[in-house]
Chain A
Amino acid sequence: MGITDYLATGTLAMLLGLDRVAFLQCMVSRPLVAAPLTGWLLGVPLTGLEVGMLLELLWLGRLPVGTVIPPDDTQVAIGATALALTLERLLGLQGMPAVILCVLVAIPLGQVGLYADGRARRANGQLALQAEAAAAAGHSRRIEWLHLCGSGHFALAGLGTCAVIVAIGTLILYPLAPLLVGAVRETGLSLQYSFTLIGAAVLLGTLNVRRGLYLFGLAFVATLLVLWLR
C-alpha cells in the first residue's frame, strides 16, 4: 500500500468512525458498507465486500445503549480490508483464505477500539464541564463549539483504532500469513461460513423474540428442505 492508500484509509476511518456515535448514525459505519467502501477506495471492492460479509453479523446484537460501548466493528472492517490489500501487494496472497486471515487478526486488535472510544467519551466529559461554565456566562457560541469538538475526539478514536489494526496487523501477518494461509484454505467453506453462523447465533440469542428459536428452526428446516427437493 502506498502513502495515498494509507491516507485514504485514515480519512475513511475518521469519517465512518463519526457515523458510529457522533454524526447521523446512518449505518455507513456497518461493516457491510464500510468494508466495500474502503475496498472501492483502495481499488479492491470485492475484497471489501467479502470482509463486510464476514463481519456484519458478529456484533450486531451489541446495542449502543446507555453507557455500553460496543466493539468497533467499523474499524475492524476498514482495517481488515486494508490488511487484505497489504497482503496482496507485499506477499501476493489473495482470495478468501487471505481475507479470512486478515479478519482473524483484525478482530482481536479491534478491541483497542473499546479503549479509544472510552477515552473519547471521557474527554467529552471535560467539554461538558467547560460548557457548563460557558452557559453560566451566557456564551452560547462557545457551547456550540465545545459540542462540535466532541466529534473530533470520536474521529481521533476511530483513526487510532484503525492505525493500530493496520500497523500491528501488518507486523503479525507479514511473517505468519504464508505459513497459515494453507491451513485456512484447507478448512474450505467451514471457516468462512462460521463467521456468519456465529453472528446469526449471537443475534438470535440476543434478539429477545418470543418463540424466536421455533421461528428460526422452522425457517431453517423449511429452507433446507426446499433446496434439497429442488
Chain B
Amino acid sequence: MKPAQIPWLVLLRGCGRSCLHQSSWNFERMQNLGLLYQLLPGLRHLYGGAPPPAVLQRYTGYFNTHPFLAPWIAGTALRLEERQLAGEPLPVDAMAFRQMVMAPYAAIGDALFWGALRPLAAVVGLFLAMQGFLWAPLALLTLFNLPHLLCRGAGWLLGYVQELRSVETLQRLRLPDVAIWLKEGTVILLGVLCGILAVRGCEHQAIEALWGLVLLPVVLLFAWLARRGVTSFALVIITTVSLLGLALVMR
C-alpha cells in the first residue's frame, strides 16, 4: 500500500466541511451532496484540480447516515479513492464501502447522539436551569459538543489514516453500550427532576410533600399514552384545558 499523499491542510478542509454535511438534505437522495462536498477538496488534489465526471457521478446517488459519523465514512472513502487511482488492488472500493457502512453507522449515531446524549445534555441543562443557574444552556452545549466535535474531527482523520480498520476502531468503542448507559442515566435524572417538581408543587400548595407521590402515576400514564402514539402537542392541550377549566370552576 502506498503512503497517504493528501496534505493535512486538505484533509482539514474536508473535515471542516463536515459541518455542512446536511446543507442540501432532500427526501430523494438525502445527504448525497453533503458527502461529495466533504470529499471535493481531496478529490481535487488527487485529480489535479478537476475530478472527472465519472468520479463526481459516483457520489450523486442516495446516501444517508448519521451526520456526526459521516466524517468517518468520508475519510475512508477518500483514502480508498486515492488507492484506487494509484491502481492498487482493493478489498472493497469507495462506493461499496459507503453502501456497506452507512446504515449501521446511522443506527449507531442515531442511538448515541440523538437518542442518548442529546436527551442527557438537555435534562442536565434543564436541571441546572431549575436550580437557578443562568449558565445552564452552556452546560447543555458543553456536554453535547465535546463528544460531538471529537467524533467529527477524529472520525475524518481516523477514517483517512486507518482506512478500513476505522470500522474496527469504531466497534471497539462499544458505542451502542455507551448509548444504553447514557439513556439509563437520563431516566434516573428525569425521575429526580420530576420528584423535585412534585415537592416544589406541594410546598407551593402548602401541603405535605408526600402528596407529590400522586404525580408518579400521572407521569407514567402520560408516558404510556406517548408510547401509544399520543403527541406532546395533544397532551399539552388536554392538560392546559383541564387545568384552566379547573381554575375557572374553583374561582
Q: Show the binding face of A for B, using Cβ within 8 Å.
A: 21-28, 30, 32-33, 36-37, 45, 49, 52-53, 56-61, 63-67, 71, 104, 107-108, 111, 121-122, 124-125, 127-128, 131-132, 134-138, 140, 143-144, 146-151, 154, 180, 183-184, 186-191, 193-209, 212-213, 215-224, 227-228
Contact = CB atoms under 8 A, between A and B. Distances in A.
Most buried by A among B193, B219, B248: B219
Contacts of B145: 26-27
A57 B123 contact: yes
A128 B183 contact: no
A27 B140 contact: yes
Give the top 9 A-B pairs by smallest Cβ distance, nearest first: A219-B191, A223-B195, A150-B24, A205-B226, A201-B222, A135-B56, A124-B26, A205-B223, A186-B247
Contacts of A188: 204-205
Contact of B243 (A194, A213, A228): A194
B114 A107 contact: no
Contacts of B248: 183, 186
B162 to A, nearest CB: 25
B226 A27 contact: no
Contacts of A56: 122, 125-126
B201 A189 contact: yes
Contacts of B20: 22-23, 147-148, 151
B85 interface: no
A121 B27 contact: yes
Interface string B221-233: 1111111000011
